[in-house]
């Protein structure tokens, strides 16, 4: 497919800086774009990278336009309101997504006699749907998926290959779960009695609300009582662990290898970078943010950013880190002071003896 820059300028209400006859056949990142590709400037921090850019055209936001110079050695620019949003739309035009197949319920899938399957739902070969399961309309259940007894799946849900949904789990509408994720396994709960670990039964469930997306190989454990809850619109990366009885708020976002211990609760719009570890029975307030590899031993107030081990507020942690950079110099100073104190002590002793 080929698009002209004039067409794109008209469609997005953009302004062209440079050659308006550029023809676009592909979409690439700033570093890899060629003469027939369009790319975009993520933010003003990356303006300096434009000098090495070989793209046919670069989308930039209007607010960044003043920082971008034009010239023979620079690519053509298309100024738009939101560069990333425009790039995504153009990319989808140039790389149309594969159409959704309409296979219905495969005769090579196992579907329990009392299971209910909605209209326009695909059950691929090798999937296993147990009794008393209900699946809504427009869903895609890929090969190797297991859905346990009594689970309820909403409309327009996608379960990628080898997803495991244990019994009596609830998924809302438009939930996406990527390959090999496990939802509803028993929580890691034991009592130590008579010099051995005794299993605590987990008789609760998992309740995943609308528009949640869960990454590959992520695990979300069922509760001991009640429900482990994942709030509406929350996005969870690959290899994340959510333990039993956690209650996650709306529109949270967690990067890979984050782990929540049992009974953690969060507000809305909480964000965790990669490898965050959160102790059990604590609360992360609305809009709080945790930096990468943060170890969280206590509650985080709403709106605050914490990082480090143990987690501290960003302002405090930055002061500590800045102080640590001065430790070698402080060590030298301390040695000099110790030497001077020893010298003065010896002088005092000599004067005392002389007296």
DSSP 300: B
Per the CB < 8 A criterion, the answer to whether 158 and 176 are in contact is: yes
DSSP 56: S
Both tokens assigned to 269: 């719009």
Pairing of strands 182-185, 219-221: parallel
- Establish whether 244 is a catalytic residue: yes
Residue showing tokens 């793209």: 55
Which of these is catalytic: 244, 251, 281, 351? 244
Pairing of strands 15-17, 76-80: antiparallel
3-state secondary structure of 299: coil
DSSP letter string, 129-174: E-TT-EE-TT-EE-TT-EE-TT-EE-SS-EE-TT-EE-TT-EE-TT
Question: Catalytic amino acids?
Answer: 244
């Amino acid at each position: 497919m080929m698009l002209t820059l004039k067409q794109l300028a008209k469609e997005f209400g953009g302004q062209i800086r440079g050659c308006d006859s550029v023809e676009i056949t592909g979409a690439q990142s700033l570093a890899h774009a060629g003469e027939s590709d369009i790319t975009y400037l993520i933010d003003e921090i990356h303006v300096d990278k434009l000098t090495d850019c070989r793209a046919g055209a670069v989308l930039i936001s209007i607010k960044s336009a003043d920082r971008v110079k034009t010239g023979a050695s620079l690519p053509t620019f298309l100024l738009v309101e939101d560069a990333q949003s425009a790039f995504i739309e153009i990319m989808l035009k140039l790389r149309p997504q594969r159409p959704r197949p309409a296979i219905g319920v495969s005769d090579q899938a196992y579907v329990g006699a009392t299971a209910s399957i909605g209209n326009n739902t695909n059950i691929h070969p090798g999937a296993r749907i147990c009794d008393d399961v209900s699946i809504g309309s427009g869903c895609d259940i890929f090969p190797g998926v297991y859905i346990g007894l009594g689970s309820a799946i909403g409309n327009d849900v996608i379960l990628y290959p080898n997803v495991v949904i244990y019994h009596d789990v609830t998924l809302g509408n438009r939930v996406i779960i990527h390959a090999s994720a496990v939802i509803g396994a028993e929580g890691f709960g034991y009592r130590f009695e008579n010099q051995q670990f005794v299993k605590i039964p987990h008789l609760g469930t998992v309740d995943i609300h609308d528009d949640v997306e869960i990454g590959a190989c992520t695990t979300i454990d069922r509760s001991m009582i009640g429900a482990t809850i994942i709030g509406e619109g929350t996005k969870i990366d690959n290899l994340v662990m959510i333990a039993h009885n956690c209650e996650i708020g709306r529109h949270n976002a967690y990067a890979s290898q984050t782990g929540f211990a049992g009974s953690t609760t969060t507000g809305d719009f909480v964000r965790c970078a990669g490898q965050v570890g959160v102790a059990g029975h604590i609360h992360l307030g609305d809009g709080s943010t945790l930096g990468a590899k943060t170890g969280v031993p206590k509650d985080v107030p709403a709106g605050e950013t914490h990082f480090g081990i143990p987690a501290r507020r960003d302002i405090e942690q930055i002061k500590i880190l800045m102080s640590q950079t001065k430790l070698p110099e402080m060590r030298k100073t301390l040695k000099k002071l110790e030497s001077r104190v020893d010298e003065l002590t010896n002088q005092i002793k000599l004067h005392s003896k002389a007296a």
